[in-house]
Structure 1
Amino acid sequence: MKSLLLQFLLLITFSSAFPTDRKMDTEENMRLAQAYLNQFYSLEMEGSHLVQSKNRSLLDGKIREMQAFFGLTVTGQLDSNTLEIMKTPRCGVPDVGQYGYALPGWRRYNLTYRIINYTPDMSRADVDEAIQNGLEVWSRVTPLTFTKTSKGIADIMIAFRTRVHGRCPRYFDGPLGVLGHAFPPGLGLGGDTHFDEDENWTKDGAGFSLFLVAAHEFGHALGLSHSNDQTALMFPNYVSLDPNKYPLSQDDINGIQSIYGSLPKTSAMPKEAMVPHACDPDLTFDAITTFRREVMFFKGRHVWRIYYDITNVEFELISSFWPSLPGDVQAAYESPKDKILVFKDDNFWMIRGYAVLPDYPKPIHTLGFPRHVMKIDAALCDHSDRKTYFFVGIWCWRILLFLPWIKAI
């Protein structure tokens, strides 16, 4: 009896010292996860039964993708940390996917904005100030200027809305949840920025800072996608900051300046956005690869996409397809297994479709390269002889697709 009592006390002590999360994959949590991943990670389920093995596999894959984006431990399981992120108030713009516009930024620097209606949570003067300050966050580091107009169509139309609103393809969900959303530069909804009127908007008190949310949404209206840098203003989740503190991180500054350039040191304003131009006779590319029916040309933080059977050329931010992929890549190629390998310095990423696979980047040495190889200059896959060639300086390595090693030639 004493032995049994001792075992019981030891079990209690062990359980207290190493507590475990209660089971997280309840029906309610699974519905929450499915809705979240559908809205922000392009989850497409077949039917409504999560018990189906195919659907569960899709769900687990999207959970891993979301966990990787937010810097969580990638398990594919609906643990407490993952649920906490899913329940955090955030921006309504997806974390993955492409916008589908011709250019990543506006074609001019002098932009207009109009506030269509005002929230009753704040005075009109405070709303005007929050919106103006949110725009100035970006004009302080670029050549952009913003002029307020009270009538007509402006580049950035600003409104406070609730639930399903007008012809907007995105919707709000009541208090908490989604705080706002914006659309990238372009015609129609391009640049339009909406805030959820069901939230408690504030200047500097309890509630959500209109200035911080507006500055974030204006980043989207100017062409930026979400950042996985948790210190960045373009991080998708709401983070309360001192409104008097400058909110841009270096990641934000690098992103916006890759589209519009930096603030000129003189009064002379450039006529065109500081982005690569296809007709520039001095243009060179960082990397080129095929991808299914198209060819991709990488330059800096941008990519040109040319289809074999379509004359139109699309020009996008790399981050609009793959948010976790860096700019200035150095090599890329498409494998026969419908994957793209992208190289920068001593790391490489593997992409399937429009998703960077979990657990990447990985060191290039895991492919078999010797330790003194610190980067790949170029790569190509010859599908006719099933060999891939890697170029490093004056050297060339060859890998056979059916063998696990590489060979210098």
Structure 2
Amino acid sequence: MTPQIDPKGPATMLLLLPLVLRTTMGGPIPRIRFVGETDVRLTPLQRAVRYLNRFGYYGRDVATRFPKALSALQDFFGLSKSGKLDHSTMAALERPRCGLPDLGDTARWERWQHTHLTYRVEDYVRDLEADVVDEILSQAAAIWMSIVPMQIKSLAQGQPDVIIRFTESHGFESAESNEVVDILSLVLRDAEGENLEILFNERQFWSFGEGRVVKTRLGNAEGDFCMFPFTFEGQEFTSCTKAGRKDGLLWCATTDNYDRDRLYGYCPQEGLFTTGGNAEGKPCAFPFVYGTRTYNICTTDGRSDQERWCATTDNYNTDLKYGFCPNSVLTTVGGNSGKSPCFFPFNFLGQSYNACTSVGRFDGKSWCSTTADYDNDQKWGFCTSSGISLLLAAVHAFGHVLGLSHNTDPTSIMFPLYSYQRSFHLSPADINALQAIFGIKGEEPAESPIQPEPPSDICRLSSKIDAIASLNNHTIIFVGKYNMQQERMDLNAPEKIQDLFPQLPGNIDAAFEQGGYLYFVKGVRYWVFEGQVLMHEGFFMSDWLGCDK
């Protein structure tokens, strides 16, 4: 979509309604209403009533008294059934959660009549690379497939059973607008009523659950992910940095110590490349002219979808060359800037800020300006923290797709409130509930009756062997998507990796045995097997294998 000039220009918005709430030695500290935020502030009681109504605690009995409905919620969440709006109850109401109700039939669709479900992502999130999203969704599906005789696969073409979108519409209330609660996802019937949709809230900051996921470009790390924190010249960095560079480009180390390993890459930034558009990935050209204005940063002007873009020459009006700006490590959430990155330093109420601040806010949340001068431009966003684990949210959403409702076990992935778990396992409640619907996993459901023939000789596939590991005194050789076991199979009869280890991807990067367990590695993901039984899977973290970074 080529940017179009809006002849009417941007709408005028009222910004500053200063309220002097307290005074310090330095004078009054104003609290303001930021552009894009509602001026309506609900009382705790109003919020609780809306919450109870939205998530099914009043049910069809509109005359249900508030204490009775609140007691039902407290019972569901495992809180003290006081029927009063105490501190622990309010804390629970403020936690991010699934948008489906807790009471009643949350999975409002018939049981699937086939065992090969398909899905396709039609709108990706800007926080993560598309291939990272695809891998996470595949892993989320595999977790459920490991316990029931079901196949849940991505479908590139044709009509899938499930459409997945990241969107800001469909009634996602945001905490910053002081509505009911922060919603992570919804599972709904599409407009035609034929297929299901998993809707993830684009307003959220999606990650692995432990901070921004940054995939590098160029450098010498071959596209590896940034490792935070990392050490450079004896100093610790928790984000991408310009330190040590004269060109101003942001970079990071891909190990915990650049001084030792010398591995690095550049962080996504518009000064390095753009995506989409018609400029073939060329970087932004700042400043550039668009319409009657000159721009020194990426803009959403002229676009109805709020995608940030820039011209890749100094004059868009004459050259019509543009691209979309990649998400920066400083990308914000919420606010009114469409996830634009923080701009440091920025001016706010006459003061200069070199880092995120909570000054000016009623709720104490950390924010930043996305231009050099907030007072003039009124563009801002919240600073990101650890983020929401897309893996956990996706496992929860797929659970609803398969017919599971919310349950009261706080250790269950189907508990409605989000809670990050570094080492994630399905709980007995999850396993029992799904196996009650589909049965216990035995033989894999048959794939399509027409399958490509495996190669006659695995050694002719490639000169590159991906990994060699030992299992039950057999040596397993991995090449591409195939494996061959010495002493068990003929040389001319390789098997697909997923025939032996169905939870693994189509090919792997490495495999090794340690302490009686078999470890597989693919990118930033790993799997731990005891024999052919999956014991654990996850992403590389600081305590992986119990080792220091």
TM-score (norm 2): 0.39
Following the alignment from structure 1 to structure 2, what is the Cα–Cα distance between the partners of residues 268 and 123? Answer: 31
Instruction: Give the conservation status (yes or no) of the 8 Å contact 2:95–2:418.
Output: yes
1:146 aligns with one of 145, 152, 162: 152
1:224 matched to 2:230? The reply is: no
Q: CA RMSD in A?
A: 2.9
Deviation at 1:152, TM superposition (A): 4.0
Following the alignment from structure 1 to structure 2, what is the Cα–Cα distance between the partners of residues 101 and 121? Answer: 30
Gaps of 5+ in 1: 1-25, 47-53, 165-170, 271-409
Deviation at 1:73, TM superposition (A): 1.1
2:135 aligns with one of 110, 129, 141: 129
Deviations 1:162-200 (A, max 9, x none): 133xxxxxx201257111111489x82653211000000
1:40: which partner in 2?
55
Seen in structure 2, the aligned counterparts of structure 1 residues 179 and 248 have a Cα distance that, compared at 3 Å, is: same
Seen in structure 2, the aligned counterparts of structure 1 residues 102 and 154 have a Cα distance that, compared at 3 Å, is: closer
Following the alignment from structure 1 to structure 2, what is the Cα–Cα distance between the partners of residues 71 and 201? Answer: 27
Q: Which amino acid aligns with 1:253?
A: I
**1:269-284 paired onto structure 2 within 5 Å:** none
Deviations 1:78-120 (A, max 9, x none): 11111111111111010011258574x2111111101011101
Deviations 1:4-27 (A, max 9, x none): xxxxxxxxxxxxxxxxxxxxxx96
Following the alignment from structure 1 to structure 2, what is the Cα–Cα distance between the partners of residues 268 and 159? Answer: 27
Following the alignment from structure 1 to structure 2, what is the Cα–Cα distance between the partners of residues 269 and 196? Answer: 35
1:247 matched to 2:425? The reply is: yes
**1:3-402 paired onto structure 2 within 5 Å:** 28-43=43-58, 58-99=65-106, 103=110, 105-164=111-170, 171-174=171-174, 177-183=182-188, 188=193, 190-204=195-209, 205=211, 206-242=386-422, 245-264=423-442, 266=443
Seen in structure 2, the aligned counterparts of structure 1 residues 239 and 27 have a Cα distance that, compared at 3 Å, is: closer
Instruction: Give the conservation status (yes or no) of the 8 Å contact 1:67–1:74.
Output: yes
Deviations 1:222-266 (A, max 9, x none): 100001001101011001011xx34310100000100111111x4
Seen in structure 2, the aligned counterparts of structure 1 residues 210 and 161 have a Cα distance that, compared at 3 Å, is: same
Seen in structure 2, the aligned counterparts of structure 1 residues 174 and 151 have a Cα distance that, compared at 3 Å, is: farther
Give the match's secondary structure for 2:413. coil
Following the alignment from structure 1 to structure 2, what is the Cα–Cα distance between the partners of residues 100 and 268? Answer: 24
TM-score (norm 1): 0.51
Q: Which amino acid aligns with 1:145?
A: Q
Deviation at 1:203, TM superposition (A): 2.7
Following the alignment from structure 1 to structure 2, what is the Cα–Cα distance between the partners of residues 254 and 89? Answer: 26
Provide runs of 4+ in structure 1 moved above 6 Å: none
Following the alignment from structure 1 to structure 2, what is the Cα–Cα distance between the partners of residues 163 and 229? Answer: 30
Deviations 1:325-378 (A, max 9, x none): xxxxxxxxxxxxxxxxxxxxxxxxxxxxxxxxxxxxxxxxxxxxxxxxxxxxxx
- Greater share of helix: 1
Following the alignment from structure 1 to structure 2, what is the Cα–Cα distance between the partners of residues 91 and 180? Answer: 5
Following the alignment from structure 2 to structure 1, what is the Cα–Cα distance between the partners of residues 401 and 189? Answer: 5
2:335: which partner in 1?
none
Following the alignment from structure 1 to structure 2, what is the Cα–Cα distance between the partners of residues 110 and 100? Answer: 19
Give the match's secondary structure for 2:163. strand
Instruction: Give the conservation status (yes or no) of the 8 Å contact 2:150–2:445.
Output: no
Deviation at 1:147, TM superposition (A): 2.2
Q: Which amino acid aligns with 1:108?
A: H
Deviation at 1:59, TM superposition (A): 1.6
Q: Which amino acid aligns with 1:255?
A: A
Count of aligned residue pairs for this structure pair? 227
Report which of the two structures shows the higher radius of gyration computed on alpha carbons.
2
Following the alignment from structure 2 to structure 1, what is the Cα–Cα distance between the partners of residues 200 and 99? Answer: 10
Deviations 1:254-298 (A, max 9, x none): 00100111111x45769xxxxxxxxxxxxxxxxxxxxxxxxxxxx
Seen in structure 2, the aligned counterparts of structure 1 residues 147 and 111 have a Cα distance that, compared at 3 Å, is: same
Give the match's secondary structure for 1:88. coil
Instruction: Give the conservation status (yes or no) of the 8 Å contact 2:141–2:153.
Output: no
Instruction: Give the conservation status (yes or no) of the 8 Å contact 2:404–2:434.
Output: yes
Seen in structure 2, the aligned counterparts of structure 1 residues 173 and 101 have a Cα distance that, compared at 3 Å, is: closer
Instruction: Give the conservation status (yes or no) of the 8 Å contact 2:186–2:198.
Output: yes
Following the alignment from structure 1 to structure 2, what is the Cα–Cα distance between the partners of residues 35 and 45? Answer: 15
Deviation at 1:146, TM superposition (A): 1.7
Instruction: Give the conservation status (yes or no) of the 8 Å contact 2:70–2:84.
Output: yes
Deviation at 1:71, TM superposition (A): 1.1
Deviations 1:186-218 (A, max 9, x none): x82653211000000013422001111011011
